A and B are shown apart, each in its own frame.
Chain A
Amino acid sequence: MDSIAPVAFDVARIRQDFPILSQPQARGRPLVFLDSGASAQKPRVVIDAMVRCMETAYANVHRGAYRLSELATDAYEAARGATARFINAADVREIVFTKNSTEAMNLVAHCWGRGVMQPGQAVVISELEHHANIVPWQMLRDDKGNELRVCRVNDSGELDMDDLERHLADGKVGLVAIAHMSNVLGTVTPVERIVAMAHAHGARVLLDGSQAAVHRRVDVQAIGCDFYCFTGHKLYGPTGIGVLWARLEHLDRMPPFLGGGDMIASVTFEHSTWAPSPGKFEAGTPAIIEAVGLHAAIDYVTAIGMDAIEAHERTLVDHATARLARVEGLTLLGHAQDRGGVFAFALDAAHPHDLATLLDRAGIAVRAGRHCAEPLHARFGLEGGTTRASFGLYTTTDEIDLLAQALAEAREFFR
Chain B
Amino acid sequence: MTPSTGGQTTGLFDDLRDLYQEVILDHGRKPRNFRRLEDATATARGDNPMCGDRIELFVALAPDGNIADAAFQGRGCAISTASASLMTETVKGKTAAQAKALGATFRELAMTGTCPDCGAELADEMERLAPLSGVHEFPSRVKCATLAWHTLNAALDGTKEASSE
Stretch with Cβ within 8 A of B (4 or more), from A13-21, A212-220, A268-276, A357-365: A357-365
A353-B51, A353-B144, A413-B20 are contacts. A361–B78 as well, Cβ < 8 Å?
no
Report whether B52 and A361 are in contact in the complex, using a CB–CB cutoff of 8 Å. Answer: no
Asked if B15 and A361 sit within 8 Å, CB to CB, the answer is yes
Q: Choose among B50, B78, B141 the residue with the greatest number of A CB atoms under 10 Å from its CB.
A: B78
- Whether B93 is near chain A, meaning CB under 8 Å from some CB there, is no
Q: In the complex, A375 Cα to B4 Cα: how many Å?
A: 38
Q: What 1/0 mask marks residues of chain A from 402 to 415 whose CB sits below 8 Å from any chain B CB?
A: 00001001101111
Which chain B residue shows the least CB distance to A350?
Answer: B78
- Which of A406, A409, A414 has the most chain B CB atoms inside 10 A of its CB? A414
B residues in contact with A374, CB < 8 Å: 52
* Contact in complex: B52, A369 (CB < 8 Å): yes
Distance in Å from the Cβ of B59 to the closest Cβ of chain A?
24
Asked whether B120 is an interface residue with its Cβ less than 8 Å from the other chain, the reply is no
A406 to B16, CA, bound (A): 14
Q: Are A409 and B75 in contact (CB under 8 A)?
A: no
With both beta carbons as reference points, the residue of chain A lying nearest to B4 in the complex is identified as A412
What CA separation (Å) do A58 and B135 show in the bound complex? 45
Interface residues of A in 352-407 (CB under 8 A from B): 352-354, 357-358, 361-362, 368-370, 374, 377, 383-385, 406
B51 touches A361 (CB 8 A): no
CB of B7 to closest CB in A, whole Å: 14
Instruction: Taking A353-B53, A354-B79, A385-B52 as given, write out 14 further A-B residue pairs in contact, using a Cβ cutoff of 8 Å, ordered by the A residue number.
Output: A350-B78, A353-B79, A353-B141, A354-B78, A357-B138, A357-B140, A358-B12, A362-B12, A383-B52, A383-B54, A383-B75, A384-B76, A410-B13, A414-B25
Q: Which interface residue of B4, B11, B52 has the most chain A CB atoms within 10 A?
A: B52
CB neighbours (8 Å) of B15 from chain A are 361
Chain B residue nearest in CB terms to A413? B13
Q: List 19 A-B contacts (CB under 8 A).
A: A350-B78, A351-B76, A352-B51, A353-B53, A353-B79, A354-B79, A357-B16, A357-B140, A358-B13, A361-B12, A361-B16, A362-B13, A370-B51, A383-B54, A383-B75, A385-B51, A409-B11, A410-B13, A412-B4
Bound complex: CA of A374 vs CA of B13, how far in Å?
30
What's the Cα separation between A352 and B76 when bound, in Å? Answer: 9
Give chain B nearest CB distance to A383 CB in angstroms.
6
* Chain A residues, Cβ within 8 Å of B4: 412
CB interface residues, B 48-106, toward A, < 8 Å: 50-54, 75-79
Minimal beta-carbon separation of A266 from chain B (angstroms)? 45
Question: B144 to chain A: which residues have CB within 8 Å?
Answer: 353
Q: Which of B1-32 contact A (CB under 8 A)?
A: 1, 4, 11-13, 15-16, 19-20, 25
How far apart are A411's CB and chain B's nearest CB, in angstroms? 11
Cβ contacts A322-344/B at 8 Å (1 or 0 each): 00000000000000000000000
If A369-B50, A383-B52, A384-B75 touch, does A357 touch B11 (CB 8 Å cutoff)? Answer: no
Q: How many A-B residue pairs have CB under 8 A?
A: 62
A369 / chain B contacts, CB cutoff of 8 Å: 50-52
For the complex, what is the distance from the CA of A374 to the CA of B20, rounded to whole Å?
28
Residues of A near B78 (CB, < 8 A) are: 350-351, 354, 414
Chain B contact residue count (CB 8 A cutoff): 24
Interface residues in A, total, Cβ within 8 A: 24
Could you say which residues of chain A place their CB within 8 Å of the CB of B76?
Answer: 351, 384
B11 contacts which of A351, A368, A370, A413 (Cβ < 8 Å)? A413
Complex formed: what's the CA distance from A415 to B78 in Å?
A: 12
**Smallest distance from the beta carbon of A3 to chain B beta carbons, Å?**
48
Please, which residues of chain B bring their CB within 8 A of the CB of A412? 4, 11
Write the chain B residue with the least CB distance to A385: B52
**How many Å from the CB of A327 to the closest CB on chain B?**
14
Contact of A384 among B1, B11, B52 (CB under 8 A): B52
Return chain A residues, CB-CB under 8 Å to B51: 352-353, 368-370, 385
**Please, which residues of chain B bring their CB within 8 A of the CB of A351?**
76-78
B138: chain A residues within 8 A (beta carbon): 357
CA distance A368 to B79 in the complex (A): 15
B77 touching A361, Cβ below 8 Å: no
Asked whether, in the complex, the Cβ of B77 is within 8 Å of the Cβ of A358, the reply is no
Known A353-B141, A370-B52, A385-B51; contact A361-B13, beta-carbon cutoff 8 A:
yes
The distance in angstroms between the C-alpha atoms of A375 and B77, with both chains bound, is: 20
A415 and B28 alpha carbons, distance in the complex (Å): 11
